[in-house]
Amino acid sequence: MKAVVYDAPRSFTIREVPTPDPGPGEVRVRVRQTGICGTDLHIHNGKFFAEFPLTPGHELVGPVDALGDGTGDGTDGFRVGEFVSVNPNMNCGHCEYCRTGHPLLCANLKGLGTNWPGSFAEYVVVPANLVFSVDGIDPDTSVFTEPTACAMHGVETLSPRPGTSALVFGAGPTGLLLSQLIACGGAASVTVAASSAFKLKRAESLGIDTTFLMDRADLAGDAAKLKAASGGGYDIVVDATGSAAVSEQCVPLTRNGGTVMFYGVTEPEDLVSVSPYDVFRREITIKGSFAEINSFPAAIAALRTGRARTEGLITHRFPLDDYADALDALRSDRTVHKIIIEC
């Protein structure tokens, strides 16, 4: 089969590799398409737990192609041809965190496309317990299962009180999925702030209440305008840009007793300054939300019913052979929203 194979950071080829066979308890999926994620750029640069050699890719959808022993019978078995998505996150089951009910915090967490062969390839073989049926959902929608699951986990982390106001920085696909789900989760209003007018247009078409066009060169000015527009701040402020400079605006924009959530992926060495006095005096809660591990069923349900909408988010498609062009587009093309790699 054909696959993107990295031998080292920034060094990959698209080449023939042996097609993997499913062992007992495993399923082989013929990859129809895989979304490119911001983390794929971090992985390209050797960050985000990447281990080489590596085939990246973790936002896949495709039909079941072959069934290992014990995966095709019984009530929760799969059938060949059934469309599925794959949860990329695998916990070990035996570390202190797993054994105390916190699998996402697993000390030995593995990720498909990070330190396990991913889906920028024609086939993937995965344990059946990571496989979820998305039969009957348009593959251009179900390809968003993983980012929607991350957004679901973000909403679980936030647990918004009914009637709250929320501000989300960032209008990328995950930012817009998270914003929609925060609204479903009981927020009375959601504002999305971003520096791309075309992404904000998409936000409006997906039903986001209010959008705000940022001037990234004057973040202090942006923050002052947002504070004035909201009448003093927001109950929930989320950074979904992964920019430390934007993250730094979050605490001052939060209302007394409110919650800040860091959701975008910054560089590990990035730092932000926060006034501990302000956090203390105004009882601000600061949370992190990382990936997800058990949110696939909720995400698939939300995509099925249209609670999480994805229309128009896919702007670019590349064949597997043009993976380098796709990465270039992700880096520098301002008209990119979601890029799909077709296998």
Spatial neighbors of 74 by CB under 8 A, at least 6 apart, are: none
Q: Which stretch in 74-82, 90-98, 112-120, 325-333 sits in contact with Zn ion by CB under 5 A?
A: 90-98
Nearer to Zn ion, 78 or 120 (CB): 120
Q: Which stretch in 17-25, 92-100, 159-167, 200-208 sits in contact with Zn ion by CB under 5 A?
A: 92-100
CB neighbours (10 Å) of residue 130?
18
Nearer to Zn ion, 22 or 103 (CB): 103
Does 106 sit near Zn ion (CB under 5 A)? yes
Closest distance of CB 49 from Zn ion, Å:
13
* Vertex 60 angle, CA 55 and 65, to 5°: 90
DSSP 197-257: HHHHHHHHHTT-SEEEE--GGGHHHHHHHHHHHTTS-EEEEEE-S--HHHHTTTGGGEEEE
Closest distance of CB 89 from Zn ion, Å:
10
Question: What are the residues facing 29 on neighbouring strands?
Answer: 64, 124
Closest distance of CB 96 from Zn ion, Å:
8
Nearest to 323 by CA among 172, 115, 119: 119
Q: Which stretch in 34-42, 234-242, 272-280, 315-323 sits in contact with Zn ion by CB under 5 A?
A: 34-42
Cα separation, 255 vs 307, whole angstroms: 27
Nearer to Zn ion, 98 or 223 (CB): 98
Does 95 sit near Zn ion (CB under 5 A)? yes
Closest distance of CB 174 from Zn ion, Å:
7
Closest distance of CB 217 from Zn ion, Å:
29
Does 272 sit near Zn ion (CB under 5 A)? no
Nearer to Zn ion, 161 or 309 (CB): 309
Does 145 sit near Zn ion (CB under 5 A)? no
Give CA separation, 91 vs 43, 111, 143, in Å.
Answer: 20, 9, 22
Q: Which of 71, 85, 87, 91 contacts Zn ion by CB under 5 A?
A: 91
Stretch (H or E) spanning 169: strand 165-169
Residue 12, classed as helix, strand or coil, is strand
Nearer to Zn ion, 103 or 258 (CB): 103
Nearer to Zn ion, 252 or 264 (CB): 264
CB neighbours (10 Å) of residue 159?
11
Does 148 sit near Zn ion (CB under 5 A)? no
Does 33 sit near Zn ion (CB under 5 A)? no
| Binding stretches for Zn ion (CB under 5 A) | 37, 91-92, 95, 98, 106
